[in-house]
């Protein structure tokens, strides 16, 4: 029987604590934890983890250090205290250049940001996007799978972060589009809570924005490509409905710049030319 992996976890906040609790319950993991707040540390100790008084002490006691702190500054501070030679899995969402900078400072790095929020962390359904070499990813994968239902090797160091930033671009641009639609709906006399219920219901059926994300490239579509017919229909429907929404907004005096931008860019973004439509 192989020895358990000695794992350290730094950052026991809203997402880090439930992630660490899943590691505490996982087979084959000897978990050690550190946080500046004593309450979550006590909770992890009650779940079977061992507390460390500092990041340096934690790093010295473990094989791999998992980090889920607030921002780049805190990630760099943890890395500096852990010291060169430490194997670090960075779950925090950081700047694109941070993982490579940490590796250049002498650490072995997997950047592994997560998507799914506290709910996904609690029930183990997180998506974890990992950047790093094949060997390091293969070694870490069983532990990552204790915390996430979808673990994706995005590529070399930094690729996990780049994938998370692309994923969150969708998230927050969509949120901004929602605020625009809410303003239009409110002026049009609609119940915004009911609209939200409809959006969540239909996105659960159709897949939301991810429903169009099946092509391996953004290159223009050839006429005989399967997706050409699908996206021609999507663009025609989208341009029609966006046109109607813009006309409604114009009639009500509501500014909808994202809708206008989408009307212009939907077809080209799908890989279609004006002639295709």
Residue finishing a domain among 163, 196, 227: 163
Q: Is the dihedral of CA 138, 144, 149, 153 positive or negative?
A: negative
CA 167, 169, 172 angle in degrees (round to 5)? 110
- Residue 27 pLDDT more than 80? yes
Residue finishing a domain among 163, 190, 225: 163
Characterise 158 by phi-psi region: left (phi > 0), alpha (psi -120 to 50), beta (else): left
Task: Say what the pLDDT of residue 51 is.
Answer: 98
- Residue 277 pLDDT more than 90? no
> Domain containing 83 — which CATH number?
3.40.50.720
Report the SS3 class of residue 69. Answer: coil
164 in active site: yes
Question: For 128-180, what is each residue's pLDDT tens digit?
Answer: 999 999 999 998 999 999 999 999 999 999 999 999 999 999 999 999 999 99
Q: What is the pTM of this model?
A: 0.94
Task: Say what the pLDDT of residue 207 is.
Answer: 94
Does residue 188 lie in a domain region? Answer: no
- Residue 97 pLDDT more than 70? yes
Task: Say what the pLDDT of residue 274 is.
Answer: 75
Does residue 192 lie in a domain region? Answer: no
The total number of structural domains that make up the chain? 2
- Residue 1 pLDDT more than 60? no
Q: Which domain holds residue 220?
A: 214-276
- Residue 248 pLDDT more than 60? yes
How far apart CA 181 and CA 247 sit, in angstroms, is 13
Structure tokens at 18: 């439930």
- Residue 42 pLDDT more than 70? yes
Q: Is 218 exposed, middle or buried (0-12, 13-18, 19+ CB in 10 A)?
A: exposed
Residue finishing a domain among 147, 163, 179: 163
């Amino acid at each position: 029987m192989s020895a358990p992996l000695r794992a350290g976890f730094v950052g026991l906040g809203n997402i880090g604590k439930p992630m660490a609790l899943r590691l505490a319950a996982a087979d084959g993991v000897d978990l050690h934890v550190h946080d500046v707040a004593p309450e979550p540390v006590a909770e992890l100790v009650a779940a079977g983890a061992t507390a460390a008084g500092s990041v340096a002490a934690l790093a010295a006691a473990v094989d791999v250090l998992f980090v889920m702190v607030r921002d780049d500054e805190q990630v760099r501070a943890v890395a500096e205290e852990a010291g060169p030679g430490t194997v670090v899995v960075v779950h925090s969402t950081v700047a694109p250049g941070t993982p490579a900078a940490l590796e250049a400072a002498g650490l072995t790095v997997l950047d592994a940001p997560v998507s799914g929020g506290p709910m996904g962390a609690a029930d183990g359904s997180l998506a974890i996007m990992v950047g790093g070499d094949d060997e390091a990813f293969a070694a870490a994968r069983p532990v990552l799978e204790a915390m996430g239902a979808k673990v994706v090797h995005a590529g070399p160091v930094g690729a996990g972060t780049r994938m998370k930033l692309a994923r969150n671009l969708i998230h927050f641009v969509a949120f901004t589009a929602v605020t625009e639609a809410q303003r239009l709906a409110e002026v049009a006399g609609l119940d915004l809570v009911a609209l939200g219920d409809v959006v969540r219901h239909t996105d659960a059926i159709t897949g939301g924005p991810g429903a169009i994300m099946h092509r391996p490239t953004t290159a223009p579509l050839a006429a005989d490509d399967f997706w050409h017919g699908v996206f021609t229909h999507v663009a025609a429907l989208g341009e029609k409905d966006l046109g109607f929404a813009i006309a409604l907004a114009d009639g009500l005096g509501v500014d909808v710049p994202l809708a206008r931008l989408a009307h212009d860019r939907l077809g080209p973004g799908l890989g279609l030319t004006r002639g295709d439509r």
